[in-house]
Structure formats: C-alpha cells, structure tokens
Structure 1
Amino acid sequence: MSKQPIQVAIAILYQDNKFLMQLRDDIPNIPYPAHWALFGGHIEPGETPDIAVQREILEEIGYVLPHFFKFGCYADNVVVRHVFHAPLLVEFNQLVLNEGWDMGLLTPDDIRQGNFYSANAGGEKPLGAIPQQILLEFIEKDLVNSQ
C-alpha cells in the first residue's frame, strides 16, 4: 500500500518586487534544513488549503493574510504543495519570526542566483530547489504587477 503524500499550504508573499522567504532551521530530520523556503506548512485534518495557509502564516510570522490568490499546485510522490500568493502589506520589521532560523526579502536576482545571506546563520544559505522553481515561475508570470 503506497503512502499518501503530505499536503501543505505555502504562500508567496511579496513587497516592492521582493519575496519573503524563511530560512529553515538547521535540523537534519526536516525537509530542506538550512535552506531558504516559503512560509507555510501542513494542512491539518479537516482543513482546506486556504484555511491552512492563513493559519500557518499567522503562526509563523504573525501576519494576517489580506486577500490572497491560488497560484498553483506542485505535487510529487512525497508532498502536494498548494501555493498561494498575497502582498505583504506591513513593514518587514513588524513581522515576528516564530518558526525558522531567519527570514528575508529576496529580489528576483537573489532567487535566480539560488543563495542568500543570513545574518542569523552568519553566511549565505541555498534556496530549496522546489521553492526556487515556484518563485521563478511566479516571477516569470509577473503576477505581482498584474493584481
């Protein structure tokens, strides 16, 4: 019997053509340890992806999502990623990092380059391959400027 993939809801949050990313903790038993990724997390039993993404963003950075949109669904054998996007309407310093090692606002060039400096980590850390792919596709579609 094959195991069902994990369902997660994640958010692309943007401000001034920069994208908010989380530097994941450096814990070996989590996906993408010490890699930059998108905020979000597991969909709880009985939750819809849109409810889950709102809960996760509030838990992880204390941000109440404004009106948000579905971007797409990225599935593999392990994880089904429900991806949403929304503007970040508060100043970066108003966010509270409750989960992860660091957070940052990355430019499209940072995302293309595939790594970004973290003061908390004391050096550059790589972007996770799938979060990078999702963001590159989002940037290519220029959805930030079409809302």
Structure 2
Amino acid sequence: MTISVALAMLHRDGRWLLQLRDDIDSIIYPGHWGLFGGHVEPGESPADAVQRELEEEISWVPSAPLQLWFSDASGTRIAHVFRGPLTVPLEQLKLREGQDLKLASLEELCSETIWSDHCQEQRPIAPGLSIVMRRLLAEMDDA
C-alpha cells in the first residue's frame, strides 16, 4: 500500500522552516531535520492534510492556502510538497511535535547537517529533504 504524505516548505527572510524529528526509534528518520507535515488521512486531500498538520505541529495555519510545488512518488510513499511564506515570526510558533525547529539558510540545507540549539549538536537532514533541495537548486539555476 502506498502511503501519502503532505509536507510544507515554508520560507521567511530567505530561510526555510525545518523540524527536528524526535529521537524515537519507531518513527522514520528519528533525530533528522525534515519538513513539517505528515500523513494524508483517508478521504482527505493533500492540501487539507498540510493545513491540518501545520496546525497540529506548530499551532499555525497559513492565511492563504499553500501551493502544491511538486509530488514525488519514490519507494512506498507519495510526498506532496507544498510551498509558501511563513507569515509570522518564528517566536510565534508553538512546537507541538518534534524536538526543535529552525529557519535554515540554503547553505545550511546544502551542508546536510544543521545545528540544533535544543540538542546542542549538529543533526543530519532526512534523505527525503535532499529531493526538495535538488528541486530548489534547479529552480534557482533556471532563474
């Protein structure tokens, strides 16, 4: 069975919002940086799922719907990646899932390890985030 997930690539001040996943062995990529989002529930659209997940994970809902950027079907899941601005300061978000959040620069994202203030150490980015990075870099090259 194919799992469908909806993820948010949110930007503010030239940086991208990341979530540091919990260090729980039963989840995919524990302790890795990734995007906020999660599973699309049965009967739910990816667009509705990303809105719901943002509210659940950081207590924030975009004022305008996020735009679907691309979908990637690799392996056993389909990732629907949405993109849009984070219209509030980082301090207004309430982290309710994961152990840290950060606005990361493109340079940090490309380094594949990012510093966590909460953990006081470098943590790796999730493998799926490299697909997002390649798309972002390709777009910048085309611009």
Structure-1-length-normalised TM-score: 0.90
Task: Pick one of 129, 132, 139 that aligns with 1:131.
Answer: 129
Aligned 8 A contact 2:113 2:124 in 1:
yes
Alignment partner, residue 4 of structure 2: 7
Alignment partner, residue 97 of structure 1: 95
> 127-136 or 69-78, which moves further after superposition?
127-136
After superposition, the CA RMSD in angstroms is 1.3
Aligned 8 A contact 1:66 1:86 in 2:
no
What letter matches 1:128 in structure 2? A
Q: Flag as ranges the 4+ runs of structure 1 deviating above 6 A.
A: none
Aligned-pair identity in percent equals 38
What letter matches 2:35 in structure 1? L
How many residues align? The count is 140
Unaligned ranges ≥5, structure 1 = none
Aligned 8 A contact 1:23 1:34 in 2:
yes
2: distance between equivalents of 1:17 and 1:140?
16
What letter matches 2:27 in structure 1? I
Residue 63 of structure 1 aligns to a residue whose secondary structure is coil
Unaligned ranges ≥5, structure 2 = none
1:135 Cα deviation from its structure 2 partner: 2.9
Query: What CA deviation, in whole Å up to 9, does each residue of 1:72-99 have, x standing for no partner?
Result: 0111222110110010000000000000
